[in-house]
């Protein structure tokens, strides 16, 4: 072991901090919503956004507590957004299209907010910080 090995080696994480693998899986939990939204764009876009976080939560919740927490947070947020999108769609449908005056601008605003908040959450989770989405219903406990 040379004297330079200690300079290039990453320091161990502090006690209680998530490991690099946990941070990476938490990042995937948040970004999987983006991938799901892109892959299932159109009528199933909102549904596709919570499939990834759901799978990661179901697989990792018992083995990695940080990942389980962040996947559950991403899942709750994406379910909340899907409910809002569905409610706006029903508003437009039940008002025979007149509700689109309200629905279309709100879909755009909520879509941009969803994108920004998902990216922020992914960056925070990758840094080892537990992120809490604002305005998310805590449906999955």
Can you point out the beta strands (E) in 10-139?
Answer: none
pLDDT of 19 = 93
On average, the pLDDT of the chain sits at 87
Work out whether the CA dihedral 100, 102, 106, 108 comes out positive or negative. Answer: positive
Task: Kindly report whether the global pTM for this prediction surpasses the value 0.75.
Answer: yes
> How many other CB atoms are there within 10 angstroms of residue 53's CB atom?
27
Classify residue 40 by burial, with Cβ atoms within 10 Å: 0-12, 13-18, 19+: middle
Q: Is the pLDDT of residue 5 over 80?
A: no
> How many other CB atoms are there within 10 angstroms of residue 41's CB atom?
10
């Amino acid at each position: 072991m040379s004297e330079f090995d200690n300079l290039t080696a990453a320091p161990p994480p502090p006690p209680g901090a998530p490991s690099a693998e946990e941070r990476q899986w938490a990042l995937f939990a948040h970004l999987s919503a983006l991938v799901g939204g892109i892959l299932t764009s159109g009528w199933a876009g909102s549904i596709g956004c919570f499939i990834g976080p759901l799978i990661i939560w179901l697989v990792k919740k018992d083995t990695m507590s940080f990942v389980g927490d962040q996947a559950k947070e991403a899942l709750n947020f994406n379910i909340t957004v899907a409910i809002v999108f569905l409610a706006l769609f029903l508003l437009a449908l039940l008002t025979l299209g007149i509700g689109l005056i309200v629905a279309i601008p709100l879909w755009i605003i909520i879509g941009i907010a969803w994108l920004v908040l998902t990216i922020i959450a992914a960056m925070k989770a990758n840094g080892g910080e537990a992120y809490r989405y604002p305005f998310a219903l805590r449906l999955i406990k």
